Chains A and B, each alone.
Chain A
């Protein structure tokens, strides 16, 4: 046998031997320390939005995927996921898909700079939480939106825009209802409501009608007209403030009776599609 063939044989033997030995070592280590990894976790993770918004109550999408695989969470708990993805996760886990009422955030204040009075000129850090530390905010209404964008920066989906008139507005088509903005707003103006809610009272001030009127054109003055028009089941009075009963909402027509324009009907999504440039701006 010539030397070259012999060398080739030795090469094969050497590689096989090294491979076998290492394979044994790895096998032993796996036996000793190996952790049981559910292959579904990675798959589920791929079906989640990956924004780590925390809306599900877990510390990010990976933690949620793990909880799902272990049966400790419902696939519908993720507020941001599409219905199709939820269905696929359910199929993967072999559970029946629960129904989920999609929610969106709404800023319950309509007093932008054109309609609500500013009490002072604020010249500090551009953040609502910082502004709150200076005499409680410079807006005339102590309960109104400061418009400095803390919620917009908190939104993982860039669904909140600070309008040119200086108020936060949620773009419903992008909002997934994760609730980050709800926690961010220092004035507690943002609420998660059913996505199909037809009307909202865009005012959160519990003050008396006259006091509110003094600082804001579009405040709820507590006239009860909407309550009379729709019935107590649909809109209730909380002191001087009308509150929409989102479990049993009134029809959109009731908005017409509001004398201040504080009760507004939800704009159909078709009209808000023009908001795309603003969204691009937020992303940039």
Chain B
């Protein structure tokens, strides 16, 4: 039990995918302008990451290891993730067109989001079971969402500020992301 708790705390805070492992930076910078889109993106990633972790772990256990096809991991995992992203896209387009429009290109880009592939590959590397991988995937997605929501809230405040011209936009966003990452370093040593 404490093992699982450690895994969750570790994935959310200590080894936060965005702020500690620096994976999934693309949507982190791309859709963090507004809190609503950040929340939408977090939801989409939570869905894709959890299911991807579950399915890839199952495929890995049942087929790849059995057939000695471990070298096929990356391509099979990407295939699974791509399929899941398609599902999210179709559903979002139907049920929340404004969010779909706001996420724009970043929604299909979850396919190549290194954080999602990272969850699948790290789980394999750490030899997690199917259940543990699913928990790991969900917790990592929550960590990603936490970073995204924090960052988008800060950026909404930054929108009101008038920094020097050279710092406007992405420059200030990257500095902020760096500071946020420094802050998350404070969690190292916590949990597992």
Instruction: Give the interface of A toward B (CB within 8 A).
Output: 7, 10-11, 14-15, 18-19, 22-23, 25-26, 29-30, 33-35, 37, 62
* B101 and A15 contacting across the interface, CB-CB below 8 Å: no
Which of A7, A18, A29 is the one whose CB lies under 8 Å from B80? A18
Given contacts A18-B59, A33-B95, are A26 and B83 in contact (CB under 8 A)? yes
**Contacts across chains A and B counted by CB atoms under 8 Å:** 51
> Do residues A35 and B86 form an inter-chain contact, with CB atoms below 8 A?
no
Q: Find out whether the CB atom of A11 lies under 8 angstroms from the CB atom of B93.
A: no
The 18 sampled A-B contact pairs (Cβ below 8 Å) are A10-B69, A15-B72, A15-B79, A18-B59, A18-B79, A19-B79, A22-B82, A23-B83, A26-B83, A29-B87, A29-B90, A30-B90, A33-B91, A34-B90, A35-B93, A35-B94, A37-B93, A62-B101
A33 and B67 form a contact (CB under 8 A): no
CB-defined contacts of A37 to chain B, threshold 8 Å: 93
B76 contacts chain A at the CB level, 8 A cutoff: yes
Chain A residues positioned under 8 Å from B79 (CB to CB): 15, 18-19, 22
B128 within 8 A of A: no
In the complex, B1 has a CB within 8 A of chain A: no
A34→B83 CA distance, assembly (Å): 15
Of A18, A35, A62, the contact of B76 (CB 8 Å cutoff)? A18
Asked if A7 contacts B101 (CB within 8 A), the reply is: no
Q: What residue in chain B is nearest A28 (Cβ atoms)?
A: B87
Name the residue of chain A whose CB is nearest to the CB of B165. Answer: A284
Quick check: is B22 within 8 A (CB to CB) of the other chain? no
Chain B nearest CB, measured from A165 CB (Å): 27
Complex alpha-carbon distance, A10 and B67, angstroms: 7
Tell me if B94 and A34 are in contact (CB < 8 A).
yes
Known contacts being A19-B79, A22-B79, A62-B101, is A14 close to B69, with CB within 8 Å?
A: yes
Chain A contacts of B93 at CB under 8 A?
A: 35, 37
CA distance A261 to B68 in the complex (A): 91
Q: Which residues of B contact A15 (CB under 8 A)?
A: 72, 75-76, 79
Nearest first, the 10 A-B pairs at minimum CB distance are A22-B83, A35-B94, A33-B94, A26-B86, A10-B67, A29-B87, A35-B93, A33-B91, A30-B90, A29-B90
Q: A10-B69, A11-B69, A22-B83 are in contact. Are A29 and B91 (CB under 8 A)?
A: yes
